[in-house]
């Protein structure tokens, strides 16, 4: 099982997909999970592996989703008694199995991706520095070659970005130095990347952006361009400019990782409900069982809770 776990994690890392690892580190019987049990929680909330039964799994999924959002690990305790121990996320459960389960959850986020458009000393230095801190680095520019960018993960000799994986967390740096400036900047702005920086003076950048405004690039998108690129360094050398750009990227990546960006609204299936028997909070789509009573829907973490409710629904509806 452990070798399969490592293979699955390696596969996700190779694809650049975020996931969370959950490992049972302590238990008090009776409970189904045991130390060493582990699972991978995907970004969509699905689970590969085993970390215990019906009551524990929704909790682990919920906390794994939070870990993927804020980038922080956590130690979760699922127990019939409340804990006030510092550093533990406590869930008080009264499920039929009883027992206590401590689960360590570690997020594994996709590496930040720097995409450099253009051939320039700034871009070459940025590629080296980006790989030095284990970022993914791609280069796209007419006549770009591997010799100029030996450290980059990928190098292509044109500005066609359709084959590259670009998302909101991709950092695009346009460093063309007069070679296809407007074309490279337009390609960058037509992606979903949240960060687009242009290595150019304010005057040159203003002219390029004015040209792109005439090519139906919206003003809101144009205003997102960071120019001059990087942190302010008057008369900086190409190497110093590259350092300043990377420093800005690191700063932004860290701020995004700790949840400074607003979380998306929950869909109806992801809305949280409370199991009226054990008191566990779970999303509608994570509920194992469901009962209808008096025109209302009630959701449960496991069959045991549903059976208890169905025997005396009036009692538990009042409690809920």
d(Cα 6, Cα 108) in Å, to the nearest integer?
A: 13
Chain centre to alpha carbon of residue 197: 22
> Do the beta carbons of residue 173 and residue 126 sit within 8 Å?
yes
Query: By C-alpha distance, which of 57, 46, 45 is closest to 103?
Result: 57
Q: Between 266 and 312, whose confidence is greater?
A: 312
d(Cα 16, Cα 105) in Å, to the nearest integer?
A: 19
Q: Between 81 and 113, whose confidence is greater?
A: 113
Confidence of residue 268 (pLDDT cuts 50, 70, 90): very low
Residue 229: predicted pLDDT: 92
Q: Write out pLDDT tens, residues 15-58.
A: 878 899 999 999 888 777 788 999 999 988 899 998 876 678 88
- Per-residue CA distances from 17 to 10, 115, 169, 313 (Å): 10, 18, 12, 43
Beta bridge pairs of residue 161: none
Domains of the chain: residue spans and CATH: 2-108 (no CATH), 113-257 (3.40.50.720), 269-319 (no CATH)
> Do the beta carbons of residue 159 and residue 141 sit within 8 Å?
yes
The answer to whether residue 132 scores a pLDDT higher than 60 is: yes
Confidence of residue 169 (pLDDT cuts 50, 70, 90): confident
Which residues, 6+ apart, have CB-to-CB distance to 157 below 8 Å?
141, 142, 143, 144, 145
Which residues, 6+ apart, have CB-to-CB distance to 254 below 8 Å?
none
Phi, psi for 192 (deg, rounded to 5): -90, 5
CA atoms within 13 A on the CB side of 69: 15
Q: Write out pLDDT tens, residues 136-162.
A: 999 999 999 999 999 899 999 999 998
């Amino acid at each position: 099982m452990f070798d399969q776990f490592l293979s699955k994690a390696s596969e996700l890392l190779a694809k650049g997909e975020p996931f969370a690892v959950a490992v049972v580190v302590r238990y008090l019987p009776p409970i189904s999970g045991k130390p060493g049990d582990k699972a991978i929680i995907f970004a969509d909330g699905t689970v590969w592996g085993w970390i215990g039964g019906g009551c524990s799994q929704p909790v682990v999924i919920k906390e794994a989703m939070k870990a993927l959002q804020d980038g922080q690990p956590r130690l979760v305790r699922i127990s019939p008694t409340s804990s006030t121990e510092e550093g533990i996320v406590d869930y008080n459960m009264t499920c039929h199995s009883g027992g206590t389960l401590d689960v360590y959850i570690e997020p594994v986020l996709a590496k930040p991706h720097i995409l450099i458009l253009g051939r320039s000393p700034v871009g070459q230095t940025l590629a080296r520095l980006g790989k030095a801190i284990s970022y993914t680095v791609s280069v796209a520019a007419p006549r770009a070659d591997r010799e100029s960018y030996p450290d980059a993960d990928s190098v292509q000799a044109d500005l066609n970005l359709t084959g590259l994986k670009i998302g909101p967390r991709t950092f695009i740096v346009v460093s063309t130095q007069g070679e296809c400036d407007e074309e490279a900047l337009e390609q960058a702005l037509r992606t979903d990347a949240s960060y687009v920086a242009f290595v150019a003076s304010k005057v040159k950048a203003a002219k390029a952006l004015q040209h792109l405004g005439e090519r139906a690039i919206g003003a809101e998108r144009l205003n997102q361009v960071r120019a001059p690129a990087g942190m302010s360094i008057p008369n900086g050398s190409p190497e110093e400019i590259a350092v300043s750009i990377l420093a800005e990227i690191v700063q932004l990546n860290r701020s995004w990782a700790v949840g400074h960006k607003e979380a998306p609204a929950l869909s109806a299936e992801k809305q949280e409900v409370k199991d009226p028997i054990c008191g566990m909070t779970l999303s509608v789509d994570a509920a194992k069982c469901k009962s209808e009573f008096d025109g209302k829907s009630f959701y449960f973490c496991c069959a045991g809770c549903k059976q208890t409710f169905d025997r005396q629904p009036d009692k538990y509806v009042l409690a809920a």
